[in-house]
Chains A and B, each alone.
Chain A
Amino acid sequence: MKSLIASIRLVAATMLVCVAGYTALILAVGQIVTPDTANGSLLMDQDGKIIGSRLIAQRFEQPRYFWPRPSAVDYDGAGAGGSNKSPTSSALTERARQVVVQHGASADRPLPAELAAASGGGLDPHISEHAARYQAERVAKARGVPQSQVEALIKRQAFAPGGFFTPDRLVNVLELNLALDSPDPKQ
């Protein structure tokens, strides 16, 4: 009985400190120091309407845009998930076959592997610089601009996610596509 009363006091104290206090403190740090990322790294257009999040992949199918990696949940930002298929499964082969057709890959021009593999959350916002260059020709053609201009843009946007530890550079698909759409693509 004494143990029960002490336990109830414990519940009250830990709830107050670890749930209310701790949450409020971290919330304050986020909302004051880094309000942009703390609210989900949202991107707005000129009218203030939300286009998406820098961190969340969105579906792109038009040839004039760069395409992200496949998503097992169709880029559902409110219900993320992976395929959870075994890498030996025929279902993955079937999905990869469709992606190969979409990208027009061929034996001479094989598809970068990540463009055939879905990410764990289905929302991976990045592709490698290599996979972006792979799509540059299609994007340039659809937009009627020189391929070199698109490739220069990729180069400007590419970054190494972990500095020294990660030599492979990535680009953020949504940011790259926004840059393509912007009136002065040099920006």
Chain B
Amino acid sequence: MNAMILIALIVGGTALLSWPLGRYMKWAMDPDVSQGLAAKCEQLFRFIGGRFVGEQQNPKQYLVSMLVFNVIMFVVSFGVMALQQHLPLNPDGQTAVEGSLIFNTAASFTCNTNLQHYSGESTFSYFTQLCALMWLQFVSAATGIAALTAMARALAGRKNMGNFVLDLQRGVFLVLLPLAIMVATLMVLGGMPMTLAGAAHATTLEGIEQTIARGPVAAFLTIKQLGTNGGGFFGPNCTHPFENPTFWTNALAMISIILIPMACVWMFGRIIGRMRHAAIVFGVMLAFLLVKSAGAVWFEQAPTQAFAGLPIEQNVGNLEGKELRFGAPEGSGPLWSVLTTSTSNGSVGAMHDSLNPLTGLTPMIGMWLNATFGGVGVGMINMFIYIVLAVFVAGMMVGRTPEYLSRRIEAREVKLAVIALFAHAFFILGGTAIFAATPWGQDTLNNTGAHGFSEMLYEFSSASANNGSGFEGLGDNTVPWNVATGIVMLLARFIPIILPLAIAGSLAAKNTTARSSGTLGVEDGTFGVMLVATIVFIGALTFFPVAALGPIAEHLQFMK
């Protein structure tokens, strides 16, 4: 009961907080008037970025700027990781890292995924964690916010999308940094480590030597949550007591995971000047989030099946892979798993591999849809794809002109939208099929049968959704996994940014049509229902077969 109140408070409270933040983000990302504080910031950003910042970019130029900066992000982080053994701030003497793992990690953090085929505490120095990974957690998240801002500007009918270098600075310095400073301070006060000292060496009460890894955790953790990055400082992410020491840090982390993705919807609404439309989209996203949360918490109440028949109490839910300090772990663990995969965060508060089979399906659903809030900026961009299709399908069904924000949706827009959706499905289904059929996948499983299949399916879902969580039993630090998921992450990051921005640019170039009785509204409940139906049908038709082979098969086989 108390757990349900907590869920309502966290999701509901964050939804309320997202409203003022969305307003602020509109001010920060797309200021109306160039005077006062906004103008001062602008001056500073022009100083930092140089004269280039003053240029207005069309969609193509904006995308090129974004890609150039992202290539540099990749190169810089790759360099830092490759040279870490020669760089400072390495108190625990971390050594050189294998090439394919560096490629995977650089790709993963550049594209805001934070899929990790390593354990931070035994692989990377503090220098790498801060200058490569934490840095990318700021700038990759800001890339997403900038992309959404640009898309919204185009949909608002502006011919120019703004300037990427300016938008990125706004995202980093005005949105992410102030929030990160506030939340990280609270995390430190909540008991999280923040030190540059190397591991502590203890002799336990029973006389055993124990090495206790620590580090600048609070700073890293905070931006990983706020920016829907999700990469853990330590291997087991937020189940590690240092990365999540108390009930309160756990609650604050969950709020941080969904806060900016929620606020992005309001920012989008404000830029296009259609708040009622934004409210409908927000409502649709929230409905998916709540249904998945309720489902996951419900399925996790079944006790650990492996303990059936042993003299073990069966009156609590499944506790394998969960932490007691979060309170009602069989509730907070699955809630976190839904929040982290509804957004493209990917941090974990319980081990997803050890969730009950149908609970484990809910995070996968989150990643397959990838638009029920989604990653910072990009979640709303993904939702735009579904909106385009919903408008188109609804228009076809009732014989009305498919229009979005007074502009006609035609063959070109629909084609691009379908390619974006198809790419996501292709990466997940194709990747899983190849690895399930070859030793690349088969030899790396930690579980047998249907659950083993789920491990591979989850890994590709996570890579393609730019999520980063995993069924971590999978022995994924192999060259085939590193290369394959690295490529999938990069393609699945940039295709769903480039295509929607192209759609938005193509819409912006069209003449507006006057509203008539034949116009299909996007600001009422009917549209909301149509959007839900589009998401459910596309998602179910694409992914039900693999769900049946993995989690559903396991549930039917084992759960009583």
Contact = CB atoms under 8 A, between A and B. Distances in A.
A68 B115 CA distance: 30
Interface stretch (A76-84, A138-146, A147-155): A76-84
Interface size class of A (residues with CB under 8 A): 35 or more
Given A51-B204, A120-B239, A78 B310 contact: no
Contacts of B311: 100, 105-107, 109-111
A97 B309 CA distance: 10
A88 B353 contact: no
A5 B202 CA distance: 49
A175 B73 CA distance: 45
Nearest to B360: A86
Contacts of A178: 205
A106 to B, nearest CB: 5
Interface size class of B (residues with CB under 8 A): 35 or more
Given A29-B194, A53-B202, A165-B247, A82 B326 contact: no
A168 B328 contact: yes
A174 interface: yes
A97 B310 contact: yes
A55 B213 CA distance: 12
A22 B205 contact: no
Interface in B326-348: 326-328, 333, 348
Nearest to B327: A166
Interface string A86-123: 11111111001100100001110111111011111111
Given A27-B219, A86-B447, A3 B52 contact: yes
A25 B181 contact: yes
B165 A7 contact: yes
Contacts of B241: 53, 55-57, 121, 123-125
A8 B448 CA distance: 48
Contacts of B5: 165
A128 interface: yes
A158 interface: no
17 contacts: A3-B68, A14-B139, A18-B135, A19-B134, A23-B130, A26-B181, A26-B194, A27-B196, A53-B212, A58-B202, A78-B92, A78-B211, A79-B235, A81-B235, A82-B353, A117-B304, A162-B247
The 5 lowest CB-CB distance pairs between A and B, nearest first, are A120-B239, A84-B473, A166-B327, A30-B194, A162-B247
Interface of B: 2-3, 5-6, 48-53, 64-65, 68-69, 72-73, 76, 92, 119, 121-122, 130-131, 134-135, 138-139, 165, 168-169, 172-173, 176-177, 180-181, 184-185, 188-189, 191-197, 199-206, 208, 210-214, 216, 218-219, 222-223, 234-236, 239-242, 245-248, 251, 303-307, 310-316, 318-328, 333, 348-351, 353-357, 446-448, 451, 471-473, 554, 557-559
Given A30-B193, A77-B210, A113-B313, 6 more contacts: A7-B65, A9-B50, A19-B130, A19-B135, A87-B357, A113-B314
